[in-house]
Structure 1
Amino acid sequence: MDLSLLDRIAGRRVLVVGDVMLDEYLWGEIERISPEAPVPVLDERSRHHAVGGAGNVAANLAALGCRAGIGSVVGEDGPARTLRAELEALGVDGRALVVDRERPTPLKTRVIARRQQLVRIDREERRPLAPWAEERLLEAVRGCLGGCGAVVLSDYGKGVVTEGLVRGITQAARAAGVPVVGDPKGRDYRRYRGVTLLTPNRKEAAEATGIALTDAAAVERAGARLLEIVGSEAMLITLSEEGMALFRRGEPPLRLPTRAREVYDVTGAGDTVVAALAAALAAGADLVAAAELANMAAGVVVGKVGTATATAEEVRAFAGAATDPAGRKVVPREEAVRLAARLRAEGKRLVFTNGCFDLLHVGHIRYLQQARALGDCLMVGLNTDASVRRLKGERRPLIRQEDRAHVLAALACVDYVVLFDEDTPLELIRELRPEVLVKGGDYTREQVVGHELVEAAGGRVELIPVVEGASTTAIVERIAALYGRPG
């Protein structure tokens, strides 16, 4: 893959049109049963919001460095105001959002207790847009096409992406020389005629063609059939762990094997694929280069827990990590905080531990393996070299921080490593808000830094027994005894 494409993407304008929605996560505790009915009573503790649907495509474009805009129809309500604020925080231009007072803003509320999702409550309209709203949205889209490098049609089947809207957008985009990438929904793909490229997944392609995609030959038949139905320039079928298949008119099919080295969660990967394709096309890339970038970006996001985005820096690191997949697991502090927030939003359990990890030994390995088993994601806080020197003296650490972080990240049981420069991880724990805080059995609960913060938030402290005789000090003393004197 030509990594210079990532530089050319920066600043390109891409407009996303489709079903935007607001995702709401409500956390609480259940300690009693209602006297009114045999149902649990949830005491609400906190709420979190994130953009969903077409909004997540826009978030992915912004993460890649594009100037993303979004066009959709929202209500005149609280969720719409929250949605606009979330989009603004991401740097997404919301000028093409049309207000329909009779149509509520799509809201999906997930109720979570003890890290388990209890119920999801959907508030949405699935009927097609009113004619006036369709026309007003089309006018807004036409007004945004100037200087736009690509358009994405993100169809979640909620009624915004009507056949008339698709026809109007593709005609206007064709006149302006702007490619249109569609993420389809439903069985009848004839309504997407005019798009440059569609990105169905295996299940969607099977439903649209009536062909079970059980082998490579079936995939090729489905791809050819979809090109015939849609009349598009190309078709990209995503095949989960089998990668992607690109079909172009007059060209043989191109199979792109998956680039993911570890798959934690495929949530939102389709949004990343369509965003990366559009970003690449906006930068003037051909279809093959665009598909390669999309495949790489998808490899980044499925290696994260929960709905995620891939930054240009992450894709660049991932592309160079064919022989070094550990490097992308060492994250800046700001990214670690974002990852922790995303985990909470998905109801996942974050486990945190910390240490110097100077000369990694079997005691460390067994400790980290047991810590990982306590939740969904293990994040390790690692003392910087300066921090280690203050704690252990000028002769330590023996191994520099970059190398210590890399060795830790190479362990399958470690999901992320984040460096901290303070003497203790207290502030980092305050920022990450882990559900499980882990230390060795040579500590007492009261001695564990940050135990008050974690327990006050409903989390817990776990102490893991140490391996007798396994310590960095013991290794250093043995080396000194064996090699410290001549002869």
Structure 2
Amino acid sequence: MTSTPTPLVVVGDALLDHDLCGRADRLAPDAPVPVVHGTRRSSRPGGAALAACLAAADGRPVTLVTALGDDPASEVLRELLAGRVDLVEIPLEGALSSKTRVMAGDRPLLRLDDGEGRARAATGAAEDAVSRAGGILVADYGRGTADVLRAALATAAGRTPVVWDPHVRGRAPVPGARLATPSAQEARTFARRLDDADGPGDGAGLRTAARDARTLVRAWQARAVAVTLGERGALLSHGETPLLVPTPAAVAGDPCGAGDRFAAAAAGLLADGALTEAAVQAAVHAATRYVAEGGARAIATVEQPQAPEAAQGDGDTNGDAVRTAARVRTAGGTVVAAGGCFDLLHAGHVALLQAARRAGDCLIVCVNSDESVSRRKGAGRPLVPVADRVRVLRALECVDAVAVFTEDTPERVLGELRPHIWAKGGDYARTELPEQPLVESWGGQVLLLPYLDGRSTTGLARRAALAPAPTGGRPK
């Protein structure tokens, strides 16, 4: 294998994805549908654009060859891709496809699809990028990019590793592809289109996946097919006895984009010279980490916090926190989060935050909004409004970002950040933390840190109220 990552060319259909994330704890009175409130809207690259960004996150140069137009969705996607990948555009006929998910926590409730644009024709620049590629990932979402470049891709498959991530709306991979990566459902659909693929399935799914993979290796003339099985891993077939590559751990989370993470990791490693078995095993591990660490939302760009309370901080506070967590995770670092009201910041707070920062590679502080503090602490609190509390916290050298939450407990914001470590003061040692099961659900760890005795906001406020007023001079 090469010592430095081989540049990768990603060919395929880019999409623009949106999430509307909120809470759903009741049904509408006029229909049996969930009411989603406290929503935040985020946008991110989707389809081949997501695969390209994930490949670039592995530290390799990436060129994305895709179809874009003059529509608003294409313009937004160009902005999201700027600085992440090199872009080679081919003309798009119609509007760029986009999808919007309405989410309650990690659970999608509804998806809205817009735009049916298709790639119109290849260009010389696109064909040249394919012909010079040291490794190619085809992320075919059935919207024409792979079709108009099919001849160039077929030629490239004879000299360089080509990984083909198919979609049931698209065509079969070109002959000679090093690896095809359909999901179990996609493999079943493709195999059923072939005369010799019918037959009873099995409850566990492995026998069916193995039969489908064997059928597709032969029909597609692929070197290998890896059928992705979600939380069970992947089944790799060269046409004979398959190899089951299990996930390293059971994780919970949003799986959207896990197939792109798998294909991007495998394509990069094959371009670097890895054996197919080693590339698939590493890709399974990469996809598992991806889901555990927040999935596609970890690379999202927050456009518009729609809950009024979320805007109480200093600027785009929560968006900065999400981006900080994503950046540190991408670099392989440890994200630490700590939370509290931090009303009248004192030495105990600072000691706790300094200790938390030493536990990882960044510290994100989750702060109760003014309404949340008032509900928890009673009338007259907070003493310091949230905008000022955020500003003081961000001024601390040990704090990398701040996020504001409006609820009584920080589960929602923790779900957005997905820290590796959630740090609390040692005074919680005998307390059941409501957020602990959530943090542990994605493999995170709750840690208690020593707390300086005798320091409290309530004590400071009481002493300040009892202090005598100045008798002379200018007001302090």
TM exceeding 0.5: yes
SS at match of 1:57: helix
TM-aligned CA deviation for residue 158 of structure 1:
2.8
The answer to whether structure 1 residue 278 and structure 2 residue 267 are counterparts is yes
TM-score by length of 1: 0.60
SS at match of 2:249: coil
Match 1:72 to one of 49, 66, 70: 66
The answer to whether structure 1 residue 201 and structure 2 residue 191 are counterparts is no
The answer to whether the Cα contact below 8 Å between 1:125 and 1:159 also exists between their aligned partners in 2 is no
Return the letter of the residue paired with 1:338: R
The alpha-carbon distance between structure 1 residues 191 and 392, as it changes in their structure 2 partners (threshold 3 A), is closer
Cα distance in structure 2, aligned partners of 1:220 and 1:450: 60
Q: Structure 2 matches for 1:248-267, cutoff 5 A? A: 248-249=238-239, 252-267=241-256
TM-aligned CA deviation for residue 458 of structure 1:
8.2
Cα distance in structure 2, aligned partners of 1:71 and 1:150: 13
Return the letter of the residue paired with 2:248: R
Return the letter of the residue paired with 2:71: D
The alpha-carbon distance between structure 1 residues 189 and 461, as it changes in their structure 2 partners (threshold 3 A), is same
TM-aligned CA deviation for residue 269 of structure 1:
0.5
Q: Which runs of 5+ in 1 are unaligned?
A: 31-38, 311-332, 343-351, 356-379, 382-386, 406-416, 478-487
The answer to whether the Cα contact below 8 Å between 2:166 and 2:172 also exists between their aligned partners in 1 is no
Return the letter of the residue paired with 1:446: R
The answer to whether structure 1 residue 19 and structure 2 residue 4 are counterparts is no
1:371 is aligned to none
1:318 is aligned to none
Cα distance in structure 1, aligned partners of 2:370 and 2:285: 31
The answer to whether structure 1 residue 170 and structure 2 residue 105 are counterparts is no
1:230 is aligned to 220
Cα distance in structure 2, aligned partners of 1:28 and 1:257: 33
SS at match of 2:266: helix
Cα distance in structure 2, aligned partners of 1:279 and 1:448: 53
The alpha-carbon distance between structure 1 residues 449 and 472, as it changes in their structure 2 partners (threshold 3 A), is farther
Return the letter of the residue paired with 1:196: R
Q: Which runs of 5+ in 2 are unaligned?
A: 25-32, 193-198, 300-317, 328-336, 391-402, 411-426, 432-447, 455-476
2:470 is aligned to none
Deviates more, 1:42-51 or 1:301-310: 42-51
Cα distance in structure 2, aligned partners of 1:243 and 1:80: 34
2:127 is aligned to 142
The answer to whether structure 1 residue 299 and structure 2 residue 283 are counterparts is no
1:446 is aligned to 381
Return the letter of the residue paired with 2:115: E
Match 1:459 to one of 391, 406, 419: 406
1:88 is aligned to 82
Cα distance in structure 1, aligned partners of 2:106 and 2:298: 22
SS at match of 1:22: strand
Deviates more, 1:112-121 or 1:43-52: 112-121
Identity, % of aligned positions:
28
2:421 is aligned to none
Match 2:91 to one of 72, 96, 99: 99
Cα distance in structure 1, aligned partners of 2:216 and 2:371: 48
SS at match of 1:80: helix
SS at match of 1:182: strand
TM-aligned CA deviation for residue 284 of structure 1:
1.0
SS at match of 2:89: strand
User: Deviation per CA, 1:367-426, whole angstroms, max 9, x where unpaired?
Assistant: xxxxxxxxxxxxx99xxxxx99x4389xx78x9947994xxxxxxxxxxx8754xxxx8x
Cα distance in structure 2, aligned partners of 1:446 and 1:14: 55
Q: Structure 2 matches for 1:343-362, cutoff 5 A? A: 354=339
Cα distance in structure 2, aligned partners of 1:150 and 1:54: 15
The answer to whether the Cα contact below 8 Å between 2:374 and 2:381 also exists between their aligned partners in 1 is no
The alpha-carbon distance between structure 1 residues 41 and 218, as it changes in their structure 2 partners (threshold 3 A), is closer
Aligned-pair Cα RMSD in Å: 5.1
User: Deviation per CA, 1:17-70, whole angstroms, max 9, x where unpaired?
Assistant: 11101123468999xxxxxxxx99999997542111110000100110111111
Cα distance in structure 1, aligned partners of 2:53 and 2:453: 49
SS at match of 2:157: helix
TM-aligned CA deviation for residue 181 of structure 1:
0.6
SS at match of 1:225: helix
2:28 is aligned to none
TM-aligned CA deviation for residue 74 of structure 1:
1.5
Cα distance in structure 2, aligned partners of 1:261 and 1:43: 30
TM-aligned CA deviation for residue 275 of structure 1:
0.1
The answer to whether the Cα contact below 8 Å between 2:90 and 2:122 also exists between their aligned partners in 1 is no
SS at match of 2:137: strand
The answer to whether the Cα contact below 8 Å between 1:445 and 1:451 also exists between their aligned partners in 2 is no
The answer to whether the Cα contact below 8 Å between 1:26 and 1:44 also exists between their aligned partners in 2 is no
Return the letter of the residue paired with 1:287: T
SS at match of 1:460: coil
The alpha-carbon distance between structure 1 residues 170 and 113, as it changes in their structure 2 partners (threshold 3 A), is closer
The answer to whether the Cα contact below 8 Å between 2:44 and 2:80 also exists between their aligned partners in 1 is yes
SS at match of 2:145: coil
Q: Structure 2 matches for 1:35-54, cutoff 5 A? A: 48-54=42-48
Return the letter of the residue paired with 1:161: A
Cα distance in structure 1, aligned partners of 2:82 and 2:450: 51
The answer to whether the Cα contact below 8 Å between 1:236 and 1:246 also exists between their aligned partners in 2 is yes
Cα distance in structure 2, aligned partners of 1:287 and 1:244: 13
Match 1:60 to one of 54, 58, 68: 54
TM-aligned CA deviation for residue 188 of structure 1:
8.0
The answer to whether structure 1 residue 244 and structure 2 residue 228 are counterparts is no
TM-aligned CA deviation for residue 462 of structure 1:
4.5
User: Deviation per CA, 1:260-317, whole angstroms, max 9, x where unpaired?
Assistant: 342222111000000001100111111111112101101101212341579xxxxxxx
TM-aligned CA deviation for residue 16 of structure 1:
1.0
The alpha-carbon distance between structure 1 residues 232 and 43, as it changes in their structure 2 partners (threshold 3 A), is closer
The answer to whether the Cα contact below 8 Å between 1:436 and 1:462 also exists between their aligned partners in 2 is no
SS at match of 2:296: coil
The answer to whether the Cα contact below 8 Å between 1:276 and 1:294 also exists between their aligned partners in 2 is yes
Cα distance in structure 1, aligned partners of 2:253 and 2:369: 18
